[in-house]
Every structure is written in structure tokens, then in C-alpha cells.
Amino acid sequence: MAIVMLLFTGEHTNKVDRKGRVSLPADFRAELPDGDDRFIYVYPAPRKAFALEAVNRAQLQARAQSIDAHGMYTPEQEYFSNVILGRARKLSIDGDGRIVLPAEFLDHAKVDGQAMFVGGGQQFHIWQPERYEAYLRESLQSAPGFTLPPPRQEPAS
């Protein structure tokens, strides 16, 4: 299965209405396919206490394959299967570019009134803006000395 390389970037803040509807940033929508595949999968981010993580179908399938690579019924497979696949919700993108965040996700992320969308390359996160700012400050303070590994070399066709 070939994974389409997505590139979600930037920080975007949008209003959330009383029904949990929020517009996906136009830059993010442009990364998603047109037609019947206009949906994303959203789940509470496993390592970010108050964030939601969002991916497209191909990325969720890639995560499922990685989870299954741990072997059936191993503690790692059970954990990731429960916290990612079990909690993921398929959210349709309407004609106006909006999704409806389930109430339990709004509660988890403490989102009320505004949601901040933060690009993460192959996925993006949805935060309550002040919680994201606090997370970012903490991340920047703990990152001195980090370096990026060289890009993976794709096999020649």
C-alpha cells in the first residue's frame, strides 16, 4: 500500500460552535483527497494529555500495521490498539469544510469556543489554544541539543 505523503503545517485557530462544528484550516483540507474520501480519523493523542490527533485513512492503516507488527495479544499491541484504533472516530468533512468534534473529544481536549490546529507533517493535532501554548513553551525548554536524523532513503524503483 502506497501512502500518500501528507504535509500538515502551521498553526491555525478556528471558532468551535455549540454543536462542536469547526472548520478545518484550508491548508489542511488541501492535503486531503477530494470526493468520497473527505473524512479524517480523530482520537485522543497518546502522548499529549489534552490534544486530539487527526490522520487520513492511509495514515490510520499505517498505524494499524505498525500496531499489528508487535504481534497479536502482546501488551504493546493491546495498548496501542485500544488507545488509537479503539478510540478513533471517523469524521466527515462537510461541504463547508467543517467537522463535528464529538462531545467526549471536546471534553478531553478542554476545547471550548476555539480550537487550534497544529500541523505535524503526516498528522495534525487539535488543542485548546492556551493549553497548546503551555505545551509548546514546555517543549521548547526541554529540547536543547536535539537533532534531526537524516531522511530515510527510499529504495530506487
pLDDT tens, 67-89?
A: 999 988 898 999 999 999 999 99
pLDDT at 4: 58
Query: Does residue 17 surpass a pLDDT of 90?
Result: yes
Strands (E), the chain: 11-15, 21-23, 39-44, 52-55, 89-92, 98-100, 114-120, 123-127
pLDDT tens-place string over residues 28-67: 999 987 776 689 999 999 989 899 999 999 999 999 999 9
- 8 A C-beta contact, residue 29 and residue 97: yes
Which pLDDT value is given to residue 1? 45
Neighbours of 70 (CB within 10 A): 15
- Residue located via cell numbers 455549540: 18
At 145, the pLDDT band (50, 70, 90 cuts) reads confident
Q: What is the CA radius of gyration of the chain?
A: 16
CATH class of this structure's domain 11-74+82-139: alpha beta
Amino acid at 65: Q
pLDDT tops 70 at residue 157: no
pTM of the model: 0.88
What is the rounded distance in angstroms from the CA atom of residue 59 to the CA atom of residue 48? 18
3 state DSSP class of 67: helix
- Residue 150: what residue type? P
- List, for residues 88-120, the tens digit of each pLDDT value: 999 999 999 999 999 999 999 999 999 999 999
Q: What is the pLDDT of residue 151?
A: 84
